[in-house]
Amino acid sequence: MSEAHIGVLALQGAFREHINMLAQLGVNAVEVRLAEQLDGLDGLIIPGGESTSMGLVAERWGLVKPLQNWVHAGRPTWGTCAGMILLADSAAGQKLGGQALIGGLNVTVNRNYFGRQVDSFEAELNVPALGSDPFHAVFIRAPAITAVSAGVQTLATVPSAEEGNEEVIAAVRKGAILATAFHPELTDDLRWHRLFLQIVEEFRACTA
């Protein structure tokens, strides 16, 4: 059981599912809608949903700068799907004009990489960081990471949607930032949430 204070950005999207997963791990996570709710958190999850809508609500509620400050300070943050798009320093194929909305993760994402016609699919991913059992990943209008910069560790890849490109990156870690193109909160496999809690505990130990 972790004593960590985890917040889940609750502007739009699959935030309740993350909170339920964390509850199964004994963590009472809170919904974050206001900048001051970031104070005192040990970790933040930015859920999947619609990155444009989430970005618009974040702008309207004055959350963009506080979220940027949070992530740029290197605090534990996990973005799933739309959350991953918002964390990427650069994004292709999106309405945000290629601008990072929050940024802090030095990767390039391609929004809706797998194409709208393939709305969603599932794949067994090999994720050494989670152990030897494959992870059953659910991709929903998912982005992919097409380029990474220094210090970014690839945790999982998935067969590419484009000919000639064998694989694209579906999960990365950089320091205390975790990003997954798929939705672990829509499965009953708790291993990604456990990994994030471990990152939070490591960070707490370093900053205590």
Report the catalytic residues.
Answer: 81, 183, 185
* Count of chain residues binding ligand GLN (CB under 6 A): 11
Positive or negative, the Cα torsion across 98, 99, 101, 104? positive
CB of 113 to ligand GLN, least distance (A): 9
Q: Is 18 an interacting residue with respect to ligand GLN (CB under 6 A)?
A: no
Residues 153, 178 contacting (CB under 8 angstroms):
no
CB of 48 to ligand GLN, least distance (A): 3
109/200 with CB nearer ligand GLN: 109
| Residue found under tokens 């970031």 | 38
CB of 83 to ligand GLN, least distance (A): 7
112/157 with CB nearer ligand GLN: 112
Binding mask 38-57 for ligand GLN (x = CB under 6 A): ----------xxxx------
CB of 194 to ligand GLN, least distance (A): 21
Residues 73, 103 contacting (CB under 8 angstroms):
no
Binding mask 82-121 for ligand GLN (x = CB under 6 A): x--x-------------------------xx---------
Within positions 130 to 169, which residues make up the interface with ligand GLN, using CB under 6 A? Answer: 140-141
Q: Is 170 an interacting residue with respect to ligand GLN (CB under 6 A)?
A: no
DSSP, residue by residue, the chain:
-----EEEE-SSSSHHHHHHHHHHTT---EEE-SGGGGTT-SEEEE-SS-HHHHHHHHHHTT-HHHHHHHHHTT--EEEETHHHHHHEEEEESSTTTT--SS--EEEEEETTTT-TTS-EEEEEE--GGG-SS-EEEEEES--EEEEE-TTPEEEEEEE-SSTT--EEEEEEEETTEEEESS-GGGSS--HHHHHHHHHHHHHHHHH-
For residue 77, the cross-strand partners are 44, 177
Stretch touching ligand GLN by CB under 6 A, among 2-10, 28-36, 81-89, 189-197? 81-89
20/198 with CB nearer ligand GLN: 20
Q: Which residues make up the interface to ligand GLN (CB under 6 A)?
A: 48-51, 81-82, 85, 111-112, 140-141
